[in-house]
């Protein structure tokens, strides 16, 4: 009686390993390309939103605020008063807050309850969510991507970065993370803003969205942009007239 051979020969094992290695070589670039597409898609959606808001702000005579939750990798658009105060540096914001508090102290509790200081309270702007179908809820970055940082002049040289100790399970699904704001103004101009979207496992791999001040021109870039040098092409002084 003949017995059938069971198992695999050494040659068969080598062939299987070679095939598996070939599949891995083909799949790794494909996965990398998919991640690149996701990063670009997230950055493009943000860029398109800014372009729409710059046109819409002038039509509505309203200030828009984009609120970035850097720990949850979400963002949402809010609308507020056209006279919203926005600060050029952290020091300006701190000084303004101190002056506002000094003014508020001049009112009694009853006067505050009756709205006597409403004009002061409104100076920083009150924002609420948009009712437009595309922006009724928070927008999330594509899977596998995250915010590396958001920079505007009001946050200083380093901008705002996610909290490395933030734990979504510990905080809860509805907990708010680290927030950064960027503004589009009622005259159709925008706050100088630089946003970096990267691979969740590699901060060197990603896209940059840059919004120029005044013009509101939006750039989608594949390279890292240093906010301090993003307007290096602007001359320090205008031409002299003789």
Task: CATH number of the domain at 19, please.
Answer: 3.55.40.10
How many domains does the structure of the chain reveal? 1
Q: Is the dihedral of CA 14, 16, 21, 25 positive or negative?
A: positive
CA distance 111 to 118: 10
Q: Does a structural domain hold residue 217? A: yes
Domain that holds residue 158: 10-84+125-228
Structure tokens at 193: 């803003």
Q: Does a structural domain hold residue 240? A: no
The model's confidence at residue 162, banded by pLDDT at 50, 70 and 90, is very high
Q: Does a structural domain hold residue 233? A: no
Strand partners, 234: none
Give the pLDDT confidence of 132-159 residue by residue, as tens digits. 766 667 899 998 899 999 999 888 888 9
Average pLDDT over residues 197-223: 90
For all residues of the chain together, what is the average pLDDT? 79
For position 225, what pLDDT does the model report? Answer: 84
Q: Which residue would you say has higher pLDDT here, 127 or 213?
A: 213
DSSP string, 111-144: HHHTTTTHHHHGGG---EE--SGGGSS-EEPPTT
Average pLDDT over residues 150-176: 84
The model's confidence at residue 198, banded by pLDDT at 50, 70 and 90, is very high
> Hunting for tokens 């009622």 — which residue is that?
186
What's the pTM value of the predicted model, to 2 decimals? Answer: 0.72
Q: Does a structural domain hold residue 197? A: yes
- 153, 173 Cβ separation under 8 angstroms: no
Phi, psi of 55 (to 5 degrees): -70, -40
Q: Does a structural domain hold residue 106? A: no
Q: Does a structural domain hold residue 168? A: yes
Q: Does a structural domain hold residue 111? A: no
- Does 112 have pLDDT greater than 80? no
């Amino acid at each position: 009686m003949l017995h059938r051979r069971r198992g695999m020969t050494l040659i068969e094992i080598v062939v299987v390993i070679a095939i598996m290695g070939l599949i891995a070589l083909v799949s790794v670039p494909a996965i990398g390309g998919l991640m690149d597409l996701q990063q670009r898609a997230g950055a493009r959606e943000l860029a398109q939103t800014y372009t729409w808001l710059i046109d819409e702000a002038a039509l509505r005579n309203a200030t828009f605020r984009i609120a970035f939750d850097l720990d949850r990798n979400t963002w949402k658009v809010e609308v507020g008063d056209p006279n919203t105060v926005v600060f050029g540096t952290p020091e300006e914001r701190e000084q303004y807050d101190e002056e506002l508090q000094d003014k508020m102290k001049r009112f009694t509790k009853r006067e505050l309850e009756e709205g006597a200081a409403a004009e002061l309270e409104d100076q920083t702007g009150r924002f609420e969510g948009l009712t437009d179908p595309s922006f009724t809820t928070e927008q999330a970055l594509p899977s596998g991507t995250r915010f590396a940082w958001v920079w505007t002049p009001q946050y200083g040289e380093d901008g705002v970065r996610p909290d490395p100790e933030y734990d979504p399970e510990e905080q809860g699904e509805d907990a708010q993370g680290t927030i950064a704001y960027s503004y589009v103004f009622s005259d159709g101009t925008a706050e100088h803003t630089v946003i970096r979207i990267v691979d969740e496992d590699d901060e060197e791999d990603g896209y940059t969205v840059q919004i120029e001040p005044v013009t509101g021109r939006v750039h989608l870039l594949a390279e890292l942009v240093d906010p301090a040098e993003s307007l290096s092409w602007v001359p320090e002084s205008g031409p002299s007239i003789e």
